Structure 1
Amino acid sequence: MKKAGILNRRLSGALAELGHGHGVLVCDAGMPIPDGPRVVDLAFVAGVPSFAEVVDGLLAELVVEGATAAEEVRAANPAAAALLEDRFTDLALVPHERLKELSAGARLIVRTGEARPYANVLLRCGVFF
């Protein structure tokens, strides 16, 4: 049994299969989930786990070379915008409709219990060397 890091076996296994350039969408409970990508649904009740908790847990285990979020997050959810801008110096912002289109190409979608709007980010995996 693992003693640290991500303990959810489905999520831990899915992360181990990711490679350079693969996309991982971390999304709130309301984001439409496209057909195709592997989904690990962590949502338990509204707000649990939070978007911030899941993003930080993933960043502790993944090499991320880029991130994309919806430009609407700044006006609709300043707390999520601040978190994203703090964690990703190279954050790209696109219209929410475009983020939904891009999410169809993700390799993995991690759904949180976040109940605030636009708490979504598409991560692009990098390499550790």
Structure 2
Amino acid sequence: MKKHGILNRHLSGALAALGHGDGVLVCDAGMPIPDGPRVVDLAFRAGVPSFAEVLDGLLAELVVEGATAATEVREANPAAAGLLADHFPALALVPHERLKELSAGARLVVRTGEARPYANVLLRCGVFF
């Protein structure tokens, strides 16, 4: 049994299968999930687990070379916007409709229980060397 890191076996296995350039959408409970990507649904109740908790856990285990979020997050969810700006100084912002289109190309979707709007980010995996 693992003693630290991500314990959810479905999520841990999905992360191990990722490679350079693969996309991982970390999304709130309301984001439409496209057909195609593998989905690990962590949502339990509204707000549980939070977007911040899940993002922090993922970033502790993944190499990320880029991130994209919706422009609307700045006005609609300043807390999420601040979190994303702190983690990704070169965060790309696109209209929410474009983020939904881009998410169809993700290899993995991790759905959180976040109940605040636009708490979504599309991560692009990098390499550790």
Aligned to 2:127: 127
Task: Return 5+ residue gaps in structure 1 as ranges.
Answer: none
Aligned to 1:43: 43
Post-superposition offset of 1:89? 1.3
Offset from partner CA, 1:8-50 (integer Å, 9 cap, x none): 0000000000000000000000000000000000000000000
Aligned to 2:16: 16
Aligned length: 129
Q: Secondary structure at the match of 1:119?
A: coil
Aligned to 2:110: 110
Runs of 4+ off more than 6 Å: none
2 CA distance for matches of 1:117 and 1:52? Answer: 13
1 CA distance for matches of 2:27 and 2:66? Answer: 16
TM-score by length of 2: 1.00
Task: Return 5+ residue gaps in structure 2 as ranges.
Answer: none
1:75 aligns with 2:75: yes
TM-score by length of 1: 1.00
Offset from partner CA, 1:23-78 (integer Å, 9 cap, x none): 00000000000000000000000000000000000000000000000000000000
2 CA distance for matches of 1:27 and 1:111? Answer: 5
Q: Secondary structure at the match of 1:74?
A: helix
For 1:123, the aligned partner's letter is L
